Structure 1
């Protein structure tokens, strides 16, 4: 490249760094607005599945008495809400409201033989005082489900005959039981109805009546049961969702969104938008999990969900289990109470821990969204800064592309923003997240090479190298963290906090910076051209040692990628280690940062100031630099907590790096003395 072009690119690069700085400064008010949003709602609901409680009670000698005893215990432990499902004949029978019989059983009650053509379902009302409430619910539901409903009685009990097979009728959905909701409300519980999209066709007028009755019970939030939100039903889709949203808004009712579902509930994004994001996130501990999870693990899980992931509704399930070892039926109700209120020996309880972190058990509220003054302008400047950062990173590898990339980024970004603003900001956020750690480590490598070449005649003393390593680590970390304001500003929308949208490209973020840094180490700046270095590497003989090394690197890379993201598998021992970190520091630093990346990176800088081979440690240590950026890609995690996490990890990692450096220096001195002694002996 001509010298004049190098000079011109250097000057232009300097101006682009000012653009990056301008973008970072512009993003700071947006970051502050996000902190305000995240601290605007600190009430947490602890919800028990009332249907599960009824199911558990069915295994007890006196079900109704057992339910009342458990409600008192749960309330005393901190449970402040009950989830009430759409009723079924099964649930109403658990509650003692009805008895349900198939045609054969009904015939026996009447002292007759059931005719083979009768496959109906027979219902008897157990409590005459409640029949006027329960009967209309059953009649409407089954007629809507297409079954003929007729009166039936046995002895002195009135009832109904449903022209539907017993197994089918037993699980058909009906309106949530208003008697249960009234009883629970009278006992001081919040009511969280769980409704579905199982009624075909969807009847908006009937659902509107439900919502009006919910409002009378003080309901302010609903959950959904099944694969879609209410109103998404066949043939209606978003039209039904629109009507349902209108009715929710009219009654002042919001929604809760379960996290980590295998398949997101259909229509949820549309519904949340129509509700102006009157929505909160919910975390559920499944029935099967409750039978095997240990109390300390469950306690940590509940606390971390609220503190680390902005969860505002904790949903607890229960189920009876036949324990062959004990020879009895067991359930987790006692464990739930102990986890919430703690015990004298092992824990203080999840409720007290949440209180210690500033959360209150109460009616959960949606976040109040805050905006920075002139946020549109500030986000525009942040976008410009992010484009400049990406151009600078590419310019480190191909200087001639510096200006073209910047210009193309500005023009292309503007055009894409018009066509698809969401796609544009997600792509730019990913590009900035990759560019910052890559550019910071590449600039570090360039600086180390200059320092090392300037001191080849007189190596730097260990103390000067240590001081230089600290300064270089600080500079590199600051540049890597420059991506954070861009990610926050570009993706500053409540949909990301609710995980209706997510940061895209996490795998690329974990691969590309390491690969680009390795590319720079091996192909750039070693006295030859990139093409020459490539040919030299490709012409090297392939030995067994190289094959083994490549295999080890491949296995390590595969393991690294399996640990990337939220789906990574974690061993029981690591879970205990994580719990220890959480209990010790209050915030758990990321293991790959403080235990691997930062120590290797810090020690690598120290050693690279003297040894060329130590650049390999910088490649591995890039994990920590990109991981700090990746922490903020988890936008559902509170911003302040993420800041604490990365600086805590950095601090611990530097201390471990000092230990590695000290061990190296001691080993180096011992080796030198041994070699010198061996030479004198010869």
Structure 2
């Protein structure tokens, strides 16, 4: 159970204190208030909790430079704070020690959630807080607000260093909250200072908890743990008013218990995948023997693959680009720059599917003028298409070892850093393959084809086609990444695939890219030119296989399973498309004969 920093407003809700304005305090003792008195009067309501509550209230306002005076009324002790009531109720204080002890005594783990709102940073105060956290068995701290504790202190920039040292000495770790609008400031630096004693945390917000169904919550939690290496799940359990039914609903009873418990509950399903509930533990960071050597080889391989891609379009530049690439790769290895490493990973992820499909186009063009192609039976064409389908996929995934090797770091596992350029990865291979298909390979050459395109008269059909392509590209980009939305039918299909295979292949692979690739290969072995358009569109599946492994926080074996399932299901759908094409082709032949 998480315990936030307390404040006067929350302490008044628990009944530990009563907060009065000057006028209310005067009425309490039958007197008139002093004109202009805007101070806050705090009375400690429970004598048994006063020894624990009074010190944290006084300490919080003394730390903020607010005057604190003693006061009493009706035989009870209190204090007067030299600040207005609205301001006083918002000032953060130490997490309620009585609440933490009650949670601990109930057999629950305590997870303090503190902020960086109290300024300036006070090392002694933090030390006192951590000692109390340790006394109730807390081992991991999460942060509330936009920054970690100690980040925004302007008086002493070493405050974050001190905070990290105190956490480390006390054996505390932290948690990285995923899917925030912006990462919490200072989290990367703090995690590094803690030797990455950090885990990933998935949060279900109060608004989501009000509307989410137990079944949806169950699936969401299992996917978070299994697919994204989440080690802490944060469930907001605030009660909500249901105005239609005129009742207050409680997520713990209505949603959380139902989703977690039972033989088919989230906890049992996680156990089926080897996960157990309990205290979250951080990953251990391992260094491979001769890691620098292996990293250098990975960089050299990535540079070579990128040079091959450039050489396909500009053959005279192959050698100079390779030489310059090796020099630049040596710089990447020496500087150990995360930005340069990410750029190299992005370029090699673009290069492999581009090289794979472009070499496929060259092979198909070399075979298209052979007379035997027109005499080839449908069975032989399917067999050849299957071999080329497998060959193309193998060449595309050659980039995967390089991407993993370049991004194999705990900061990517914790998503303190992420693979950048996802939109570029999803566009560049398609654009490059289209460039090669339409501008390379003919007798006119690149410049001749370009001149021919520039002087070509624009027809209404091409305008309509261009608008359609732009619309399809826009929709494709909106589906890229984690922010894309899916239709209701697709969501049901996703659930079916997840429950059937326990790993969900990517929709753009098995439903679009791979079936189009198999159909395009089958048709290209018979028809000379237009099926290559299908090959261009099918590049989506090839690049998506590489992109799957760019999610370093997902276990590699799961990503490999996802790619293989996508290839297998896409292959079956492609066979169905080929059968449909064959049927339509024969029907067309019969109709043509009858019309003739």
Q: 2:361 aligns with which of 445, 449, 469?
A: 445
Q: For residue 115 of structure 1, report the CA deviation from its aligned partner.
A: 2.4
State the secondary structure of the residue aligned to 1:477.
Answer: helix
Q: For residue 366 of structure 1, report the CA deviation from its aligned partner.
A: 0.4
Q: For residue 484 of structure 1, report the CA deviation from its aligned partner.
A: 0.6
Distance 2:374 2:202 in 1: 61
2:386 alignment partner in structure 1: 470
Higher mean displacement: 529-538 or 381-390:
529-538
Q: 1:108 aligns with which of 27, 43, 49?
A: 27
Greater RCO structure (CA 8 Å; 6+ sep): 1
Q: Are residue 394 (structure 1) and residue 313 (structure 2) matched?
A: no
1:641 alignment partner in structure 2: 558
Per-residue displacement from partner, 1:557-603 (whole Å, max 9, x unpaired)?
01111111122233444333322322222111111111111111111
TM-score normalised by the chain length of structure 2: 0.97
Give 1:146-225 correspondences, 5 Å limit.
Answer: 146-225=65-144
Distance 2:493 2:502 in 1: 13
Q: 2:494 aligns with which of 544, 566, 578?
A: 578
Higher mean displacement: 306-315 or 92-101:
92-101
Aligned residues of 1:597 and 1:624 also touching (Cα < 8 A): yes
Aligned residues of 1:593 and 1:627 also touching (Cα < 8 A): yes
State the secondary structure of the residue aligned to 2:531.
Answer: helix
* Consecutive aligned runs of 4 or more in structure 1 exceeding 4 Å deviation: none
State the secondary structure of the residue aligned to 2:530.
Answer: helix
Q: Are residue 667 (structure 1) and residue 584 (structure 2) matched?
A: yes
2:199 alignment partner in structure 1: 280
State the secondary structure of the residue aligned to 2:208.
Answer: helix
Aligned residues of 1:121 and 1:169 also touching (Cα < 8 A): yes
Aligned residues of 1:298 and 1:339 also touching (Cα < 8 A): no
Q: Are residue 314 (structure 1) and residue 233 (structure 2) matched?
A: yes
Aligned residues of 2:373 and 2:526 also touching (Cα < 8 A): no
TM-score normalised by the chain length of structure 1: 0.85
Distance 2:157 2:576 in 1: 60
Per-residue displacement from partner, 1:15-60 (whole Å, max 9, x unpaired)?
xxxxxxxxxxxxxxxxxxxxxxxxxxxxxxxxxxxxxxxxxxxxxx
Q: Are residue 517 (structure 1) and residue 517 (structure 2) matched?
A: no
Alpha carbons of 1:664 and 1:322: their partners in 2 closer, same or farther (altered >3 Å)? same
Distance 1:660 1:205 in 2: 71
Aligned residues of 1:194 and 1:223 also touching (Cα < 8 A): yes
Give 1:340-379 correspondences, 5 Å limit.
Answer: 340-342=259-261, 348-379=264-295
State the secondary structure of the residue aligned to 1:322.
Answer: strand
Give 1:403-552 correspondences, 5 Å limit.
Answer: 403-419=319-335, 421-455=337-371, 458-552=374-468
State the secondary structure of the residue aligned to 2:233.
Answer: strand
2:250 alignment partner in structure 1: 331
Per-residue displacement from partner, 1:263-297 (whole Å, max 9, x unpaired)?
21111111111001000111111112211222222
Q: 1:229 aligns with which of 148, 154, 172?
A: 148
State the secondary structure of the residue aligned to 2:369.
Answer: helix
Distance 2:304 2:21 in 1: 73
Higher mean displacement: 321-330 or 632-641:
321-330
Aligned residues of 1:417 and 1:424 also touching (Cα < 8 A): no
2:36 alignment partner in structure 1: 117
Distance 1:423 1:586 in 2: 35
Q: Are residue 625 (structure 1) and residue 542 (structure 2) matched?
A: yes
Distance 1:249 1:638 in 2: 28
State the secondary structure of the residue aligned to 1:100.
Answer: strand
Distance 2:297 2:361 in 1: 29
Aligned residues of 1:390 and 1:435 also touching (Cα < 8 A): yes
Distance 1:422 1:455 in 2: 53
1:652 alignment partner in structure 2: 569
Per-residue displacement from partner, 1:331-372 (whole Å, max 9, x unpaired)?
3222233343346xxx82211111112111010000012333
Q: 1:613 aligns with which of 530, 537, 547?
A: 530
State the secondary structure of the residue aligned to 2:141.
Answer: strand
Unmatched 5+ stretches in structure 1: 1-81
Could you say what the CA RMSD is over the residues aligned between the two structures, in angstroms? 1.7
Q: For residue 528 of structure 1, report the CA deviation from its aligned partner.
A: 2.8
Distance 2:269 2:373 in 1: 59
Q: For residue 236 of structure 1, report the CA deviation from its aligned partner.
A: 4.8
Distance 1:393 1:164 in 2: 68
Per-residue displacement from partner, 1:380-409 (whole Å, max 9, x unpaired)?
101101100011111111111111111000
Aligned residues of 2:306 and 2:347 also touching (Cα < 8 A): yes
Q: For residue 243 of structure 1, report the CA deviation from its aligned partner.
A: 0.3
Distance 2:526 2:443 in 1: 18
1:49 alignment partner in structure 2: none
Alpha carbons of 1:538 and 1:461: their partners in 2 closer, same or farther (altered >3 Å)? farther
1:68 alignment partner in structure 2: none
State the secondary structure of the residue aligned to 1:176.
Answer: coil
Aligned residues of 1:103 and 1:121 also touching (Cα < 8 A): yes
State the secondary structure of the residue aligned to 1:270.
Answer: helix
Alpha carbons of 1:545 and 1:237: their partners in 2 closer, same or farther (altered >3 Å)? farther
Aligned residues of 1:503 and 1:634 also touching (Cα < 8 A): yes
Aligned residues of 2:217 and 2:259 also touching (Cα < 8 A): no
Distance 2:279 2:221 in 1: 17
Give 1:66-85 correspondences, 5 Å limit.
Answer: 82-85=1-4
Alpha carbons of 1:455 and 1:339: their partners in 2 closer, same or farther (altered >3 Å)? farther
Residue-pair matches, total: 595
Higher mean displacement: 159-168 or 243-252:
159-168
Aligned residues of 1:231 and 1:237 also touching (Cα < 8 A): no
State the secondary structure of the residue aligned to 1:257.
Answer: strand
Q: For residue 423 of structure 1, report the CA deviation from its aligned partner.
A: 2.1
Distance 2:481 2:304 in 1: 28
Unmatched 5+ stretches in structure 2: none
2:503 alignment partner in structure 1: 587
Q: For residue 527 of structure 1, report the CA deviation from its aligned partner.
A: 3.2
1:252 alignment partner in structure 2: 171
Distance 2:163 2:339 in 1: 29
State the secondary structure of the residue aligned to 1:128.
Answer: coil
Alpha carbons of 1:237 and 1:628: their partners in 2 closer, same or farther (altered >3 Å)? farther
Q: Are residue 603 (structure 1) and residue 519 (structure 2) matched?
A: yes
